[in-house]
Structure 1
Amino acid sequence: MSDVLQSIKTLQEAIQYFADPDNCLQYVAQKRWGNSPICPHCGSDRVGFITTRRVWKCKHRDCRKQFSVKVGTIMEDSPLGLDKWLAAIWLIVNAKNGISSCEIARSLGITQKTAWFLLHRIRLAMQTGTFEKLSGEVEADETYVGGKAENMHEAKRKQKIRGRGTSGKAIVLGLIERGGNVVAKVIPDTSRETLHREVKEAVSPVTEGSVKDYITHLYTDGHSGYQGLDEQYIHRIVDHAIEYVRGNVSTNRIENFWTLLKRSLKGTYVAVEPEHLFRYVEEQVFRFNNRKAKDGERFNKALEGIQGRRITYRKLIRKA
């Protein structure tokens, strides 16, 4: 089955292949269970397939429940067919600047509300959760996400904008290993305590006295919150009030990631609620960290995250 996806190089080829319900079912089942389907209710591998309904039935005497390939995944309880789900996954993981719910709705023939819920569930599958710590040469920087002051009503602008104009905006911290992956997350503030905690959690410190010695260079701007990291890292600072590059010291790579993130937020999604911002950040992190992969490989990577994750519409809109 993996050979099939390797031969699929375009969206058109993917849609043609997944237009067949049997192809969809076989592919998702293979990605979830391999050649041995497992009951998501009791974990038994004693199951039988009901061809007329395209579902499985557990044969364990204490279970006997029926289940589809969607049960136990982000697609559980969704009335949408696998053809629409797989097409949506292909679209979002391969759209460099993201894809809006309105465009998904038009492309798949569903409502915008359904498309919005669909995309958020796919973003859940795109969340990495765990990662190897960054090392080598690492850049750290923070950015602010929120409405532009020039677009605000004068009264609202006076109420929200203070100092540098960052008051009331969400803060995203990013760390990137040169030539490697990026880690980004929404943080509550840019205090020294917060920045130190997040950097230490994501970046390997300098180690000594081992054959596997490695040195971590940490490059940041002149923000005072990064001061004091010299004990764990070889910390170098570039003062943006004076220069943006000094030899090998710069934060240009993480700045490039911010460009990609803000292009999707401002150009594609336009309006992002603060409580959902971390989902859009994770989406861009997924695409960036798989930037060297082919479309089919990114698609497969996203499918690996569908199992064991589920979010309801009520939880998304924060209703009890």
Structure 2
Amino acid sequence: MSETMLAALTNIRTAEDMVVAFRDEEQCRRLLESMVWPAGRVCPACGYKRSIAIAGRDIGKRRARPGLYQCSSGDCRFQFTVTTHTPLHSTKLPLSVWLKGMWLMLQSDKGLSSVRLAEALGVSQPTAWRMGHALRLMAAREHMLDGTVEIDHFYLGGRARINPDDPPPGRGRKGLPNTQKTPVMVIVQRPDDVTPGTPAGDARAAVVTGLSLRAAARAAEAQIDPDAYLMSDEATAFIALGENYARHDTVKHSSREYVRDAVHVNSVEG
């Protein structure tokens, strides 16, 4: 979480202060932009650091919504907002509701149940439950994984039930049966101290749309510090992704290489 955003939330002392601070949707959008882009706007599709604001309803135009930007890269031209490719992606709730929920969660030392969050925000319990998960993901970005970081992917799920009346299933990616398995990206930070009894490194996982470079980069850029030492297997997406970090080493599982000195991905595979 950026220092600007954290200060804006922690300086609110009472519920009345919260109502005043988050009464304006435009101000809420600016606060959220300072949280998501502390060093300036970045295109969530390609990572390009230059973009233009598209004239919207906030200045009298009707075609575009306020806070819509377009990537200036000639190969991308992707249009995005502050919530694009974040846990708040495609939200229908006002940003003021999200920020009120974040403030309430920060004020609670022992967590806040979805029932209590729903009562405080005036939303349904299922909506509050989804908000809680999204807000925790946003807060987790305060600490990027650094040092030695391992990355890998796997498929989550089981085989589809076989119906004798159905035609034979096709074949999926890498010869996997055509099931409803979900691709997941897993990232593990190795601890600096390996003495027994010391805390383990952080572990995070994210559901991805596929195993492409774009999907891998999107999952990694929000979690891994650019100065990290990345370790992975020889997957094409991971090899290309390694160029974004200070160091990158791989092990070649196809050649039955699983450990080379300190280079391995055994932690993340475990």
What is the TM-score of this pair, normalised by structure 2?
Answer: 0.46
Q: Looking at secondary structure, tell me which structure has more helix per residue.
A: 1
What is the TM-score of this pair, normalised by structure 1?
Answer: 0.39
Structure possessing the higher relative contact order (Cα contacts under 8 Å, 6 or more residues apart): 1
